[in-house]
């Protein structure tokens, strides 16, 4: 067992497999004389010669097409695409030919080729050298897709990919090349394609990740261990086919899922992983995805790049939220729903004895001015209501019936000068008008503090009192 970097492990796998199997050859841009843009193939030209280590023109379509032809003629080509950003030029050969070869020939032909490419951000490569492309190719049946995170897996999965009878896309996160070091077993140790690994055991939450984001997830999980949150981190290693057994076994234990990937959020691999968990019915709370926002590319500016990429801080924040989520239908959830965290504010206003109609009208105006006070709180989100429906509680003779979107309480002269109303379940605000004394009254507003903040309460009461004052102003008569 030695300690290697990821790039050293990749290079060792290429050396050993080319020495073991004379059918293996390497082709790509600058892979021979230069030794690869990241030096993954350094020394291979001197060891195996130009017939097996071949510099190709700057044409990804040609690299992939030649690799398909070589594979169909019985060789084991390893084609390098310098950056994953440029692999799309070769998509027709990969998805249209290589992926379909076994299926469309009923097994008469296979296409045992490997495409290696460097993907991912954080390398200051800007929008044309930083893409994560896994979602495109995990959508293509017939291709296997692996994404090693550690040096041992970088070597073991590459060995498995070269020996596989079908096309394999090997995604190597460029930041891990020299940043991540770790033990690599001596000898011919192959990591099976389609097998995930438990990178950190835990009991509270399952994190599914790969590549550089695995290491950020591990850092977040280790930080939370001291706070009593025990996170299990699963290194997917293979993205297609997924190791459903390992994933579901972990989720059956933790019942909570967080998926972390560097690719953009919409239609990313995380969506498929969340669907897998949902269809299995193993989650007690909704899953969480931590991913890059839906931007066309990585920003050129270093500060902006760091801001859009997931990191251990954003992952930790997501895990804390997930740990505190309350299962729907549980006794704890029912207790949470019944116990609304209230905040209240009180103002004193000028008010006549007869004010009910004006108060109702002013309440509608205030609700429209501050929709957060005419809403319903749900754990899945806050729902603002299009219409204002007031539950009017005018005392024992006319109690509120319920079903409205906000509550108005006014017991008239028999009521208390000042009393704090309770927010009803399904609403976010309640208003209580105290007894009018000498033309003035206290108005108290209570809100569900999960949905309405103090600034909203202030705006709501200001809109309410302004409308009442407008209603009380004498009408202006215009001659004409």
3-class SS string, the chain: CEEEEHHHHHHHHHHHHHHHCCCEEEEECCCCCCCCCCCCCCCHHHHHCCCCEEECCCCHHHHHHHHHHHHHCCCEEEEEEEEHHHHHHHHHHHHHHHHHHHHHCCCCCCCCCEEEEEECCCCCCHHHCCCCCHHHHCCCCCCEEECCCCHHHHHHHHHHHHHCCCCEEEEEECCHHHHCEEEECCCCCCCCCCCCEEEECCCCEEEEECCHHHHHHHHHHHHHHCCCCCEEEEECCEEECCCHHHHHHHHHHHCCEEEEEEEECCCCHHHHHHHHHHHHCCCCCCCEEEEECCCCCCCCCHHHHHHHCCCHHHHHHHHHHHHHCCCCCCHHHHHHHHCCCEEEEEEEEECCCCCHHHHHHHHHHHHHHCHHHCEEEECCEEEECCCCCEEEECCCCCCCCCCCCEEEEECHHHCCCCCCCCCCCCCCEEEEECCCECCEEEEEEEEECCCCCHHHHHHHHHHHHHHHHHHHCCCCCCCC
Is beta strand 76-83 parallel, antiparallel or unpaired with respect to 24-28?
parallel
User: Quick one: tokens of 203?
Assistant: 């009991």
- Give the dihedral sign, CA 328/334/340/341: negative
- Active-site hit among 129, 173, 261, 355: 129
Question: Do residues 207 and 221 make contact, with C-beta atoms less than 8 angstroms apart?
Answer: yes
Confirm whether 478 is a catalytic residue. Answer: no
Give the alpha-carbon dihedral of 157, 162, 167, 168, to 10 degrees.
20
Phi, psi at residue 261, to the nearest 5°? -145, 155
Question: Do residues 119 and 131 make contact, with C-beta atoms less than 8 angstroms apart?
Answer: yes
Cα distances from 421 to residues 272, 344, 345, 408, 410, in angstroms, run 46, 9, 10, 9, 10
Q: Buried (b) or exposed (e) across 329-340, using 16+ Cβ within 10 A?
A: eeeebeeeeeeb
The residues annotated with a catalytic role in the active site are: 129
């Amino acid at each position: 067992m030695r300690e290697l970097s990821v790039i050293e492990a990749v290079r060792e796998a290429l050396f050993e497999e080319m020495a073991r199997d004379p059918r293996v050859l390497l082709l790509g841009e600058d892979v021979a004389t230069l030794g690869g843009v990241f030096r993954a193939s350094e020394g291979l030209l001197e060891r195996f010669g130009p017939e097996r280590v071949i510099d190709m023109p700057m044409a990804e379509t040609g690299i992939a097409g030649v690799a398909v032809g070589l594979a169909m003629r019985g060789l084991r080509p390893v084609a390098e695409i310098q950056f994953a950003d440029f692999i799309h030029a070769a998509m027709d050969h990969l998805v249209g030919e290589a992926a379909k070869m076994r299926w469309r020939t009923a097994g008469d032909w296979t296409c045992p080729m490997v495409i290696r490419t460097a993907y991912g951000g954080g390398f200051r490569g800007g929008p044309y050298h930083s893409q994560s492309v896994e979602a495109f190719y995990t959508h293509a049946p017939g291709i296997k897709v692996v994404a090693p995170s550690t040096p041992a897996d970088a070597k073991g999965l590459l060995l498995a990919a070269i020996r596989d009878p079908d096309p394999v896309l090997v995604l190597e996160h460029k930041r891990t090349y020299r940043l991540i070091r770790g033990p690599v077993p001596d000898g011919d140790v192959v990591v099976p394609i389609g097998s995930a690994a438990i990178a950190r055991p835990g009991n509270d939450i399952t994190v599914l990740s790969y590549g550089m984001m695995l290491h950020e997830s591990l850092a977040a999980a280790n930080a939370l261990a001291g706070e009593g949150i025990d996170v299990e981190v699963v290194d997917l290693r293979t993205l297609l086919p997924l190791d459903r057994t390992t994933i579901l076994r972990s989720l059956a234990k933790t019942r909570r899922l967080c998926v972390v990937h560097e690719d953009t959020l919409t239609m990313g691999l995380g969506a498929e992983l969340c669907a897998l968990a949902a269809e299995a019915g193993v989650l007690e709370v909704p899953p969480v995805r931590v991913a890059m926002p839906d931007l066309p590319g990585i920003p050129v500016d270093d500060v902006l790049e760091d801001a859009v990429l997931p990191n251990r801080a954003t992952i930790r924040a997501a895990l804390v939220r997930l740990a505190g989520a309350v299962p729907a239908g549980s006794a704890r959830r029912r207790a949470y729903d019944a116990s609304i965290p209230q905040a209240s504010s009180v103002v004193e206003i000028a008010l006549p004895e007869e004010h009910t109609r004006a108060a109702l009208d002013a309440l509608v105006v205030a609700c429209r001015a501050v929709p957060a006070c005419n809403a319903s709180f749900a754990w899945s989100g806050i729902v603002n209501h299009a219409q204002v429906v007031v539950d009017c509680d005018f005392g024992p003779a006319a109690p509120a019936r319920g079903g409205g979107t906000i509550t108005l309480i006014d017991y008239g002269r028999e009521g208390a000068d000042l009393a704090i109303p309770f927010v009803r379940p399904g609403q976010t605000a309640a208003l209580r008008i105290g007894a009018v004394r000498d033309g003035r009254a206290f108005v108290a507003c209570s809100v569900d503090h999960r949905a309405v903040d103090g600034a909203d309460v202030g705006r709501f009461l200001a809109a309410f009192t302004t409308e009442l004052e407008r209603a009380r102003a004498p009408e202006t008569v215009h001659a004409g």
